Amino acid sequence: MSYYDVIYKNATIVNHDGVGQADIAIMNSKIANLGDLSNDSANEIIDCKGLHILPGVIDTQVHFREPGLTHKEDLRSGSLAAVMGGVTGVFEMPNTNPLTITKETFEDKISRASNNMHCDFAFFVGGTHDNVEQLPMLEKMLGCAGVKVFMGSSTGSLLVADDDGVKAILNAISRRAAFHSEDEYRLEDRKHLQIENDPSSHPIWRDEEVALSSTKRLVRLARETGKRIHILHISTKQEIEYLSQHKDVASVEVTPHHLTLDDKAYQTHGTLVQMNPPVRDSSHRGGIWAGVKNGVADILGSDHAPHTLEEKQNPYPKSPSGMTGVQTFVPIMLDHVNAGRLSLERFVDMTSHGPNRLFNLVCKGRLTTGFDADLTIIDLKREETISNEKQFSRTGWTPYDGKKVTGWPVGTIIRGKKVMWQGELVTPSIGQPIRFS
């Protein structure tokens, strides 16, 4: 008989090797054993009959706005929304104020986050024309998820719209770089297509070609430099079709909102669903779902990008692009699982094994002995209604307000510690940097 810190018993385990009944034992923050542990004992034994245990869900694209924009969100409030939604780790983006583009600004974020954020974390460093020489050092820093480049939809030094600038960044780095892929030149040429007070003109201005032409340029540059690229928040069926031929160099992220919403949402939600790249018509949503089914899409990211309700209610196009998403990430996708649009195994592959594979995570992304005891525990049959009142993001709103879903996170376990359990924050502020090999 063995003795452990905690045993989670009688759950259905969903892992890289399939689905089955198993107990999970935790010792010193690590997974110590899996299997039939009915003869073993622990300080705490938790019965999970009727529940599923997944490897901890990792949201690889969030904007938590700290420093500089903390009236919208900060690392603490954003990570609270994450753990309340079943997310154990996040990759946060560099478009803060100041930008995360130097050793000093990166270390400042790590310092702000450690033992303050509720979940584990990594930060992208922004690639610019001016910091190319520092990128090989920056991308190897503890807690760095890699380099993020904005080819469109950014301002100041964080915008790298030209091929030479992108090529210089790719030549400098060794890890997979992440890209916001929209063509800034075409965006500028088409700005006259924005119609005042009409957010449904957003996908007309930022049309399919804005995304596709940028993505084609990126793939060409990746081939010329012999580097790997990661293209964020794919929004068009054409990109999915094109990228199916280029999986050797390009990995693909898709988002819950591009899989859930279509252009009809502009009539009901207005600027609340204004995003870059935009939510488009249902044929694009169908094309992205095809990419999930056929394996072109590698991972899911929420692109949690909060703005205050007051900011979002400015008349288009003065309204900012972005919506909340980290807390609704798991419930929205579990609802799709229950509707038969993807399997639970595929969801797990896109939220834990995929990040592990693409970004070379150390000891995260699988339920296996020796790995961090990061668990997302779900009740696949629980019915809930998403509401603004229950959002923990500082902004306090969600585009899914009033949406009924089936499937709900009931436990967020990070390195063996019960952080969220049955809707309550149990252990706050334990966040540590995610490690990469």
State how far the alpha carbon of 266 is from the alpha carbons of 203, 275, 304, in Å: 10, 11, 19
β-bridge partners, 120: 89
Q: Which residues of 178-212 are buried (b: 16+ CB within 10 A; e: fewer)?
A: bbbbbbbebbeebeeeeeeeebbbbbebbbbebbb
Q: Please state which CATH number belongs to domain 57-359.
A: 3.20.20.140
What is the mean pLDDT for each group of 10 consecutive residues in the chain (437 residues)?
97 94 98 97 98 98 98 98 99 98 98 98 98 98 98 90 98 98 97 98 98 98 98 98 98 98 98 98 98 98 98 98 98 98 98 98 98 98 98 98 98 98 98 97
How far apart CA 61 and CA 393 sit, in angstroms, is: 15
Report pLDDT for 128. 98
Question: What is the sign, positive or negative, of the torsion defined by CA atoms of 355, 360, 364, 368?
Answer: positive
Report pLDDT for 16. 84
Please name the helix (run of DSSP H) or strand (run of DSSP E) that holds residue 10, with its range, or none.
strand 3-15
Q: Quickly count: other Cβ atoms within 10 Å of residue 223's Cβ.
A: 14
The CA dihedral of 253, 193, 216, 180, to the nearest 10 degrees, is -40
Q: Where do the structural domains in the chain lie, given as residue ranges?
A: 3-53+368-425, 57-359
Helix runs in 12-143, H state only: 75-84, 103-113, 135-138
| Residue 303 annotated as catalytic | yes
Report pLDDT for 92. 98
Candidate list 59, 120, 298, 303, residue with the active-site label: 303
Has this prediction a pTM greater than 0.85? yes
Domain 3-53+368-425 top-level CATH class: mainly beta
Tokens of 374: 């990061």
How far apart CA 237 and CA 20 sit, in angstroms, is: 35
